[in-house]
Amino acid sequence: MRLNSSIAIATITLLIGIGFAKAYLWIPATVLGAGAVWLLMGRWVASGKRGSAALASEILALLVNSAGIYAALGQFACLVLVGVWFLA
């Protein structure tokens, strides 16, 4: 299992936020969670293999893809958040 950039950036942002007692820690925490979901289940979604319950599998694949998109966009939000923390 490899580490993806959204997990690394969110973890660093979360540690900086906790260390300096900053606000809006829910942003890196949720990005970290979404990155973990995508890391664990992204290969299954990309493989195209679905189980016997096709509708449930498609809904789960949609949710996992949504988590991946949130993690990808959220890493940029984390970088902006760190910038805001240090400029304010």
- pLDDT (tens place) for every residue of the chain, 88 residues total: 567 899 999 999 999 999 999 999 999 999 999 999 999 999 988 898 887 888 999 999 999 999 999 999 999 999 999 999 999 8
> Which CB contacts under 8 angstroms, 24+ apart, belong to 39-45?
39/1, 39/2, 39/3, 39/4, 39/7, 40/1, 42/68
Domain range for 63 = 5-87
What is the number of structural domains in the chain?
A: 1
pTM (2 d.p.): 0.90
